[in-house]
Amino acid sequence: MELRQLGYFVAVAEERHFTRAAERVQVAQPAISQQIRRLEAEVGEPLFRRDRRSVALTAAGEALLPHARAMLAEAANAKESIAALSGLLTGSLAVGLVQPLPDQRVLALLGAFHRRHPRIRLTLREDETDALIAALATGELDAAIVGQGPADPPLAAETTPHVIAREDVVVALHPDHPLAARDSLTLRDLREEPLVTAPRTSKLRTNIEAACSRFGFVPNVVAETRDLTLVRQLVLQRIGVAVLPESALQGPPALARVPLARPSLERRIVLAARPHHASPAGRAFLAMAHRRLLPDQPGAMNDTGDVTKR
């Protein structure tokens, strides 16, 4: 099983198309098809279901994909470790970002890292927390900035999560809404209100539904979207109210915001990583992140990426 074959396999799995995969890895399409057939012969199972319009992974392909990604990541880490001996880091860094991102220090961190290591190629991925944590576990990401609610289970210990920021979750309403003049609201106050919110894949949505369940009702969701700008626009159009992190209400349109008193749905912004699996670029990024985002916390990293004892 060659790394080249695994690279082709991952490209086809992600593109779901042989021609697009060939363009991505910059080889001729017949060559990539031939290598996939050789890989299938070696594992003894077809890895893809093919028809004229689409390509889909078989059960064997689904089983192989995380291992292939991990093997490619380890090979890349080995190359970068050797390159790091020259004293100038090269390679790539993949960082996941949950939205909205209230801590602007993260953007400053990315800028500082690029200036310090200009030869490292930076890839950013915006997604929901669960998807980012899964990508971190498979080695697709070197680090992730994710959101956690008070009722969320703790992240796995090997991700070494660190809280870098906290923000309140508030109720966003049209300025003329009868509840907009209140000093605070509870979820029970929103029982009969139409709700505009994120899809079920969102941590915010699951936390809202769990909190409403504890109050004995199911929220009346009338619209859902991942686009927070669209959520604000729908509230402005009186389609419903929204329960959002404060950072999601930055910028127009101007909506009324009322604190959510019961329950408190404080949102924690967490830096998550797997330092024992990190590439040289990943270790350098985590070292800088700890210095800039967590300077006073025990377990902060020094310039070499080693954990300090305090």
Quote the tokens at residue 25. Answer: 């890895």
Quote the tokens at residue 141. Answer: 């990401």
pLDDT in tens, 283-295: 889 888 988 887 5
Q: Can you tell me the distance from the alpha carbon of 41 to that of 47, in angstroms, rounded to the nearest whole number?
A: 10
Q: What is the 3-state secondary structure (H, E, C) of the chain?
A: CCHHHHHHHHHHHHHCCHHHHHHHHCCCHHHHHHHHHHHHHHHCCCCEEECCCCEEECHHHHHHHHHHHHHHHHHHHHHHHHHHCCCCCCEEEEEEECCCCCCCHHHHHHHHHHHHCCCEEEEEEECCHHHHHHHHHCCCCCEEEEEECCCCCCCCHHHCCEEEEEECEEEEECCCCHHHHCCCEEHHHHCCCEEEECCCCCHHHHHHHHHHHHCCCCCEEEEECCCHHHHHHHHHCCCCEEEEEHHHHCCCCCCEEEEEEECCCCEEEEEEECHHHCCHHHHHHHHHHHHHHCCCCCCCECCCCCECCC
pLDDT in tens, 65-117: 998 988 888 887 777 666 555 555 677 899 999 888 777 889 999 999 999 88
CA 25 to centroid of chain Cα atoms: 25
Q: Can you tell me the distance from the alpha carbon of 199 to that of 218, in angstroms, rounded to the nearest whole number?
A: 15
Tally of CB atoms within 10 A around 233: 16
Q: For residue 50, what pLDDT band results from cuts at 50, 70 and 90? A: confident
What confidence score (pLDDT) does residue 305 get? 36
What confidence score (pLDDT) does residue 274 get? 82
Q: Give the predicted TM-score (pTM) of the model.
A: 0.62
Quick check: 298 pLDDT over 60?
no
CA 289 to centroid of chain Cα atoms: 17
Nearest residue to 33 (alpha-carbon basis) of 19, 23, 45, 43: 19
Residue with tokens 């399409």: 29
Quick check: 296 pLDDT over 90?
no
pLDDT in tens, 246-259: 888 877 778 999 99
